[in-house]
Structure 1
Amino acid sequence: MKRISTICCIVAVVIVAMAVTACGTDRHLKKAEKYLAIGEYYDAATEFKKAYQSTSTKEREKRGQRALKMARCYAKINQTQSAMGGYRNAIRYKQAELDDQLAYARLLLKNGEYKSAAKEFQAVKDSLQALGEWYREPTPNLPSVANEGFTPLGGAAATSVAALKTPVALKGREASRKLTDRALLTENGLISAQKAPEWKEQGSRYTVKRMDIFNSRRADYSPMLFGDDFDRLYFTSTRNDAMGDELSGITGTKPADIFVSEKDDKGKWSRPEAVQGGLNTEYDEGACSFSADGREMYLTVCQTDPSYPRYAQIMKSNRSDASWSKPSEVKISNDTLSGYAHPAISPDGQWLYFCSDMPGGKGGLDIWRIRLTTGGLGGVENLGDPINTPGDEMFPAFRPNGDFYFSSNGHPGMGGLDIFIATIDPKTRRYVLEHPGYPLNSQGDDFGMTFEGPYNRGYFCSNRGDGRGSDHIYSFENPEIVQAIKGWVYEMDGYELTAAEVHLVGDDGTNETLSVRSDGSFTYVVTPGVNYVMLATCKGFLNHKEELCVEQAEESEEYVLQFPLASITAPVLIDNIFYDFDKATLRPESTQALDELVNLLNENPNVTIELSAHCDYK
């Protein structure tokens, strides 16, 4: 009887324990689903993990479902190892869908497991072909800035995306058929897994170096050089000095703030400090870009709310002396269910580029642009092919010469986000893409380019080699010969003219209007063998012209030109004009003075003068 009582007691304890476990599992699941609904992926992943661990191994279907949700959340916040573990369990318990198998293959690629990634991509490809979902019927292209135009750029340091995008086996009619979105990502992933080891071995002319002066033990990313001498570096960081005490439910870290480091006369960078003014808050601020005159900052802000999801917004802050104002929203669209992030201003200051998941894109995050006008914002345009893919394209950036940089995980690459360079072919007016290779790109996420003036050097960020997936800032340099004009526009008393413009014309057809910086300077990259004429203008001042003949150089060279402008109200003095005695013919020394007057009139066609002469009377 005693033994029976003991057995009954044990059974009762087991039943109670099972009930408690079941209640705990349900509680974790409810929390996880709540966090997931408002986009707090870190908290959701944590609760899904607890639910998975408390689920019996005999309940294979439930364990697989919870592992899958955990994996998807970890993938959202770049915790690659945890996401891979979740996907492996979901696949093992036969709960993963084909999209999940594709996501797992892309994570293997990002982790540098190229052979395993190739195997998974091939399995997805076989499944899609068996389902008849490899090709789709041709559909009209999205309205775009420049449609498809893959042309090899050449050079040992570059890999043409053209040679990688189209499967070699396609012939005839099949070559004109477009792949489905999943098929395109699968094919590009398979190409990446096969080619990435070769790219890493081949290398390039780029050199990169981790910049510990800027980095912390947390995430540091999206660097942006600023200042007339590029002596300030703004970047985003979740370091301990960031505002706010609570950890983000989205990332599990502190919300990000914008920090700045300054370079002294000896070229040494200072310890980064949070930007002063009303810019930083307890929410996430980051990924900033500046207007051409440096008076406006565009940035990404992500506010949170415990009751409903909030999406990233682009905001604008104004500079007053050394501080930045509280930012205000840049209203790109009335769509409140899409995010807008990673602003970049075009070199001419006329366009705001950004990334978004708004409807009408090619899938994932796309890069868009909107015109900036004096009256507000123009219409939104999707960059289309070949920039955007069914994957994610983000972090647009410009080199001052107009080359467009962005990061993508949809094109063939080395894994994660890779940096790509887009230039417009002058003949076809279509984008041409270049993959700059290793070590600028790696198996991790590489993004956020910023340049030191016209030179192919500057900073970017990457999470390569970081087990926690945190981003860090790196320097880069690709040695090349750059010939540039450094001009200064100022009034005769020496004060800079910030409202001045410089009209530049070259005998190769170049016709540009350049704005000057806050110190009256401007920079322009010139082409060897071209003759340039520059005319500096400013309201209330006479124009000033300079000419430059650019010869071929064996090393980088900077041509310094001065443009002193005289006030239009100041008298213009010329040498006396003399005639021969008792004659109306000019003396030779007088022609130079008159030539100067003619030049003045040619440079200032709107100026009217009165010319009179005083003669002896007989």
Structure 2
Amino acid sequence: MTKRIFICIALIGMLAKNSFAQERLINRANEKYKEYSFNPAIDIYKRVLDKGYVSADLLEKLGNSYYYNANYKKAAETYKKLIEGFATDSTVGPEYYFRYGQSLKSLGNYDEANAMIVRFTELTSNDERAADFKGERDYMAEIEKNSGRYEISEFEHNSVYSDFAPTFYKEGLIFSSDRDTGNLAKYRHTWNGKDFLDLYEVNVDSLSMGRVVKVRGDINTRFHESTSALTKDGDTLYFTRNNTISGKVIKDDKGITRLKIFLTTKVNGQWTEPRELSFNSDTYSVANPTLSPDEKTLYFASDMPGTLGESDIFKVTINEDGTYGTPENLGNNINTEARETFPFVTSKDILYFSSDGHPGLGGLDVFAVKIAHGDYSGNVLNVGEPVNSNMDDFTFIFNEDTRRGYFASNREGGMGMDDIYSFLETRPLEFDCNQPITGTVRDKITNQPLAGATVKVIDENNEEVASTITDSNGNYEIAVDCNKGNFVRATMEGYVPAEEYLAKSENKPRIIDFYLERDIVTAGYGDDLAKLLQLSTIYFDFDKYNIRPDAEIEIQKVIAAMDKYPSLRIQANSHTDSRGADSYNLWLSQKRADATVEYMISKGIAPDRLVGKGFGETKLVNGCSNGVKCTAAEHQLNRRSEFIILE
């Protein structure tokens, strides 16, 4: 009996010892995982699994370690074990279904991948990515539409190591590589077990100068130097580096060495000691710089506070004195709850970036969006195959003039872990281009706004594609498809239509004001030009017939119409109200009609085109005749001027 008790105690002790040893191993692996040292974390997690210990947390971390190292086959295997073993316990969050689906895409298993994405959307209520996968968009059809636009070939200077992050430099490139295997093993990066990266340069257009050399100057260290961006003059270089001081890495309170953007300038052909940018931090990473076409804005990737996912794309203003503004997130149209990184902006303000949050073919895909005029709400388009594959495709750069560019990928068939590819774009990417048009429709003669005028967009096939009505102030808003030529046309009853042609353009807002002319060409004998031109009442001072300044303004509109239509002949009629003697009113109205004609002749209208006639109170428009009590306003209706068309 005593012996049995001893054996049981010994077995319990061994189990406790084994359990303690496994717990210690897991704690070590978790520490490495927290430090983003995924390669050693994988080794330890696998040792624990081989001993038969398994948990949801272990499988999550092991799957993520494979995922972030782009080992999608192992990631898929691990996520499958996680979901099959623990999904019923409701311990598996929606993010793991998403990553499992992305990993399956990378293996070409799209049917099963879509099933996992569907499950992801079912478990998600407020994730921006979910809408893209709920059948609201046929994203595979979009990718197919955008595919086949590139001719790609391998970069002749690839190595058996990792080569990526090309940047245009003079007639060649600066790129990042870990090809220098002279580094001691202790300087290898524990994220993926590779050597640390340095920046290299090569002249790609000259066989005699096609040798790859390390960038000279105070740039490369024994730690990471990576993604870079150059000013147009080639004398200022932004690049990514590990957070180091005096050759020693700096870790945050979680034990993580963050990334920072540094700047260096060229003096006497050599890069000077780099300095870090002011918005860098020891507590988050700032990396992958690129410049706007005017070099006044720096775009970059970061996981700083305000990030929506694991990394987002931000922008920051470069002030004239060399200081920087406050970084701004580009928003949830571009950024998702996953990874957005490696931005590049072309000369035509198209932002290319890599993401595994937008619908793609698997891993990181390259996407494009127009960001002209500070608008980040445009359609985000997957650039399609063959640039994108079922693996990671990233660090895309493009010259709008030559239609040539470069990108990197870890796809199968390459020489190294990551390889650079060159490409020629044979067909441009088609963006939705909604150009906002605003303006006012006015009467050309009176300059008065025309409420209720119709503004239409007519395409080049003479088909109406949009229409709106001006408001009470004559204002309108409408949009045109700026991928095509369009006519913007304003019409209103009684006016000659006016239009303006807009050729293909970028979506920069336009203001188009229309000044419509009264359609007096179709007017006939006896029509009142004053009504057609919407003239204000022409007043005369009491008992006088000289032309007042306010009357001049209205008569000038008639003169403008007669200048435009040389065959137009009119009769200037003058009327009075019934107050005063009939004979006096007739005399006064004739004097006023004559004064009007004389004024118009003095402004260049031929006398034979004008007739002046006074009618006194003989043509009242209401019942306010002699002896009838009327208001001042009612009498005023009879004191009017008319410009009757004779021919």
- Under TM normalisation by the shorter chain, which class is it? 0.5 to 0.7
- Name the structure 2 match of 1:580: none
- Name the structure 2 match of 1:360: 306
Cα displacement (A) at 1:295: 0.8
Distance 1:14 1:461, change over 3 A: same
1:459 aligns with 2:406: yes
Cα displacement (A) at 1:272: 2.1
Alignment of 1:30-179 (within 5 A): 30-56=27-53, 62-94=54-86, 96-128=92-124, 134=125
Percent identical among aligned pairs is 27
The residue type equivalent to 1:204 in the other structure is: G
* Separation (CA, whole Å) in 2 of partners of 1:208 and 1:239: 23
Distance 1:55 1:420, change over 3 A: same
* Separation (CA, whole Å) in 2 of partners of 1:373 and 1:109: 43
From 11, 26, 30, the counterpart of 1:29: 26
Higher relative contact order structure (alpha carbons within 8 Å, sequence separation ≥ 6): 1
Cα displacement (A) at 1:108: 1.4
* Separation (CA, whole Å) in 1 of partners of 2:423 and 2:403: 8
Provide the secondary structure at the position in 2 that maps to 1:379: coil
1:222 aligns with 2:165: yes
- Name the structure 2 match of 1:254: 195
Distance 1:243 1:15, change over 3 A: same
Deviating more after overlay: 11-20 vs 94-103: 11-20
TM-score (ref. length: structure 2): 0.58
Alignment of 1:535-546 (within 5 A): none
Alignment of 1:408-419 (within 5 A): 408-419=355-366
Distance 1:237 1:426, change over 3 A: closer
- Name the structure 1 match of 2:478: none
RMSD of equivalent CA atoms: 3.6
Distance 1:52 1:417, change over 3 A: same
From 394, 399, 407, the counterpart of 2:346: 399
1:328 aligns with 2:289: no
Report if the CA contact (8 A) 2:146-2:383 is conserved. Answer: no
* Separation (CA, whole Å) in 1 of partners of 2:51 and 2:163: 36
Cα displacement (A) at 1:470: 3.1
Any gaps of 5 or more consecutive residues in structure 1? 57-61, 129-133, 135-179, 482-528, 530-618
* Separation (CA, whole Å) in 2 of partners of 1:317 and 1:242: 25
Deviating more after overlay: 409-418 vs 197-206: 197-206
User: Cα deviations across residues 30-62 of structure 1 (Å, max 9, x unaligned)?
Assistant: 211221232222222221221222235xxxxx4
TM-score (ref. length: structure 1): 0.61
- Name the structure 2 match of 1:533: none
Provide the secondary structure at the position in 1 that maps to 2:229: strand
1:301 aligns with 2:293: no
The residue type equivalent to 1:475 in the other structure is: S
Distance 1:45 1:454, change over 3 A: same
Distance 1:265 1:67, change over 3 A: closer
Report if the CA contact (8 A) 2:225-2:240 is conserved. Answer: yes
Alignment of 1:400-439 (within 5 A): 400-424=347-371, 431-439=378-386
Cα displacement (A) at 1:214: 2.4
Report if the CA contact (8 A) 1:405-1:419 is conserved. Answer: yes
- Name the structure 1 match of 2:177: 237
1:263 aligns with 2:198: no
Provide the secondary structure at the position in 1 that maps to 2:325: strand
Report if the CA contact (8 A) 1:462-1:472 is conserved. Answer: yes
* Separation (CA, whole Å) in 1 of partners of 2:18 and 2:376: 64
- Name the structure 1 match of 2:260: 313
- Name the structure 1 match of 2:283: 337
Cα displacement (A) at 1:217: 2.2
Cα displacement (A) at 1:12: 9.5
Report if the CA contact (8 A) 1:106-1:189 is conserved. Answer: no
Distance 1:264 1:356, change over 3 A: closer
* Separation (CA, whole Å) in 2 of partners of 1:429 and 1:248: 35
Provide the secondary structure at the position in 1 that maps to 2:173: strand
Cα displacement (A) at 1:224: 0.8
